[in-house]
Amino acid sequence: MPAVGCPVVDAVNTNPKVVSLPRGRPKASEATVQLVETLRRQVVDTLRERLNVMFEGADDLLFEFAERATNNQDRRLFFDTMRAVRMGRKNMSDQFSEIYSASFGQQGVPAPSPVPGSEQELSLQRDDALDLDIAVHNMATKAEGLYKATLWEIGARLKHLIDEQHAPISAEALAPATICLAFRKAAETLDIGHDVELVVFKLFDRLVISKLTDLYARVLNFLKLHGVRASASTATAYRGAGPMPGDGGDPASGTAPPQTFANTPGHSTPHQEFRAPAGLAASLMMSPGIDAQTLASLQRLGAAPATGADVDRLDYSTASLAADLAAASLGQPIAGWSPRQTTAYVQRVNLVGHMFNEFLADPHLPSDLRPQFDELRMSTMKVALKDIAFVVDPDHPVRGLINELATMASTAKVGGPLHLDRIADLVQQIQKQFEVAAEALRKPPPEIELLGIDQAERFIEQQMAQTAARRAAIVRKVRQIIAEELQLKTQGVTVGDEIRPLLNSLWAPMMAMHLVHRGPDSVEWRRGIDSLDRLLAMLDPAREDLRGDAQVGSLLAVLEAEFKSVGLAEARVGAALQAFEAKLKSITPAAAATTETATATAGSEIPESPAELLELLIQPGTWFQVFDPDRNERRWMKAVAYYAGLDCAAFAEFNGSNTLLLKSRMLLDDLLAQRTLPVDLSPTARTALDRYLARAA
């Protein structure tokens, strides 16, 4: 008989089956053991699939990293990692499966034995081990944040399984830290250097740990399906918000094999990138109340006097509706509303409130726009109360518009104060276009449609995707602005390969941080632009007067301080500045004629003709304040297209209606007179428009 707590290896199955037999503790039933074994096998198989995806995608990702590398040493590191992954993938996958299977049981994974060697070797090993410990800790911490709600519910159900059914499973079996630690120990079997191992960890983080949403959702559904309830001590807080979704039935009994992930219902889309946190949709749909932030907004609006269009409808204004919604969410009866109608209204208010809470939680949303988005919350609620399609149809025009406004607002700081003012005006004007009269919502239809939990989950998941898209939009916009600034500044300047790392790997990241956190009108942004201008001027062979020792030393000191102030690596900063200094010393005035010729052609990529200018400005989907000559007023409209053959541009309102066609000459005249204003232009488009306006003036 094996020792207590040791793994028992099944003679038929080479995967270790962990059975823990602590003294004084009842033994788990055969059905529970079989349940745990099925869960273990399915989790291991799923993780192996994710590892295979990582191995298959490693070449492309590492090759991309190598192309981006700014020096041969980094490039060689990525190619070495590619070779190590190709050669060791099968062994690493087998080791990972074995180690993780062992950790699924209660005894966990034994700590690694110390490696003998000299004091210096041990010191180096400790330093390397610390780096790996930090990498594992960071991966696990990030994953715990990503899957917090689902992990909490899985943990509660595992606790019940262990405490009540004495299941031979570790409470931490599915914790991200357990998975990360198993991978670290598997990676130790590769004969690779410390730096290569860290790159392998980055691959694992990006292609496995960041893609565990489906695994955890399947595990949770598996536990629910087999009647594994949450432990009473951990479920109390959750149950306060409503019934635990999926509860029901007794634990599996008998010897019937448990269902596997493959035939578990509810997961027909395993590659779905976003999944609503477990229980959130159920709590929003089943709870009679709403969140504190939305309730406070409704109460504040309900206490305000009627304004604007509501003055003519004092019998039932937007404030009246807000007060009724707040009261209904607190369980108070509303005259003329049946329980079904009240539930339907509170459901929709809950989802719209959750949507706007996400908007307002975005740290990139400028403080000046926050009050307007809080006001927009009520207008959007009225749309959802009138039309359930706002929730169930991801292509609903108002829903798409709200998400678009949120994206524009999150990138407003990057565009500067003028852009911020125009976004504020746009939010106000667009709100008027879809405003619904409160009187029309005073008495809901008797058979108003209730929302299902699955509909709420899809809405939340779609909004999660929109949130990720907004973050990506900020990154894209910042990269575009920085790239175009560099392109415009370096036109006509000979910038050798020695200077590219300084511009692309130091100056560009620094300016991106300044742009995101402080905006283009900040002191830091202007200082960075000034430093770039000085740097490029020194590269002009004709400006020997700028390359004196004192001037060069001053600029190098400024650049070093700026780069270090945003946390860029000192070694990379030092190497890039040394390369820049060496480049300056190699410049001779003899090349001045070539530079003058190049300078004469600078800016040749900026459009010169009106047609080229309009093709650059009229990008489909971009917003303009367009002067409508028929109405003699400005209208907020989206660009549809520029038709060079017809010599005209087309604009439309947010829902695609009321198309406005303007002849090119008329549009250019309105741009010149500032009757028509673009909302946000890239640096290239802004420069092109400014040059056109300057020539026309």
In this prediction, residue 351 carries a pLDDT of 92
Q: 77, 195 in Cβ contact below 8 A? A: yes
Residues 626-684 pLDDT 10s: 998 888 888 888 888 888 777 888 888 876 667 888 888 899 999 988 899 888 777 67
* Residue 70 pLDDT grade (very low, low, confident, very high; cuts 50, 70, 90): low
Residues 371-412 pLDDT 10s: 888 888 999 999 999 989 999 888 888 888 888 888 888 887
Would you give the DSSP letter of residue 621?
Answer: T
Distance CA 378, CA 297 (A): 8
- Position 192 pLDDT exceeds 70: no
Backbone angles phi, psi at 366, to 5 degrees: -60, 145
* Residue 61 pLDDT grade (very low, low, confident, very high; cuts 50, 70, 90): low
* Residue 352 pLDDT grade (very low, low, confident, very high; cuts 50, 70, 90): very high
Maximum Cα–Cα distance for the chain, whole Å?
A: 96
Which tokens go with 134? 């930090």
In this prediction, residue 60 carries a pLDDT of 65
Length reported for the chain: 697
Would you give the DSSP letter of residue 442?
Answer: S
Report pTM: 0.52
- What are the helix (H) ranges across 267-307? 280-286, 292-302
* 480-494: average pLDDT: 81
In this prediction, residue 485 carries a pLDDT of 82
Distance CA 360, CA 373 (A): 8
* Residue 190 pLDDT grade (very low, low, confident, very high; cuts 50, 70, 90): low
- Position 66 pLDDT exceeds 80: no
Least reliable range by pLDDT among 424-438, 451-465, 555-569: 424-438
Q: Classify the C-alpha dihedral 493-496-497-503 as positive or negative.
A: negative
3-state secondary structure of 517: helix
Distance CA 507, CA 478 (A): 13
In this prediction, residue 123 carries a pLDDT of 35
* Residue 468 pLDDT grade (very low, low, confident, very high; cuts 50, 70, 90): confident
Number of other residues whose CB lies within 10 A of the CB of residue 168: 25
- Position 84 pLDDT exceeds 80: no
Question: Which phi-psi region, left, alpha or beta, contains residue 417 (left: φ > 0; alpha: ψ -120 to 50)?
Answer: alpha
Residues 91-136 pLDDT 10s: 888 888 888 888 887 544 443 333 333 333 333 334 455 666 777 7
In this prediction, residue 276 carries a pLDDT of 66
Question: Which phi-psi region, left, alpha or beta, contains residue 279 (left: φ > 0; alpha: ψ -120 to 50)?
Answer: left
- Position 535 pLDDT exceeds 70: yes
- Position 539 pLDDT exceeds 70: yes
In this prediction, residue 385 carries a pLDDT of 93
* 284-311: average pLDDT: 75
In this prediction, residue 210 carries a pLDDT of 80
* Residue 275 pLDDT grade (very low, low, confident, very high; cuts 50, 70, 90): low
Q: How many CA atoms lie less than 13 Å away from 330 in the CB half-sphere?
A: 13
Residues 547-585 pLDDT 10s: 888 998 999 999 989 888 888 888 888 888 998 888 888
- What mean pLDDT is reported for the chain? 76
Q: 524, 478 in Cβ contact below 8 A? A: no
Task: Pick from 143-147, 319-323, 652-656 the range whose average pLDDT is largest.
Answer: 319-323
* Residue 321 pLDDT grade (very low, low, confident, very high; cuts 50, 70, 90): very high
Distance CA 155, CA 143 (A): 15
* 608-620: average pLDDT: 81
Residue 445 host element (H or E): none
In this prediction, residue 380 carries a pLDDT of 92
- Position 306 pLDDT exceeds 70: no
Residues 236-260 pLDDT 10s: 333 333 333 333 333 333 334 455 5
In this prediction, residue 325 carries a pLDDT of 92
- Position 507 pLDDT exceeds 70: yes
In this prediction, residue 382 carries a pLDDT of 93
In this prediction, residue 313 carries a pLDDT of 45
Cα-Cα end-to-end distance for the chain? 96
* Residue 508 pLDDT grade (very low, low, confident, very high; cuts 50, 70, 90): confident
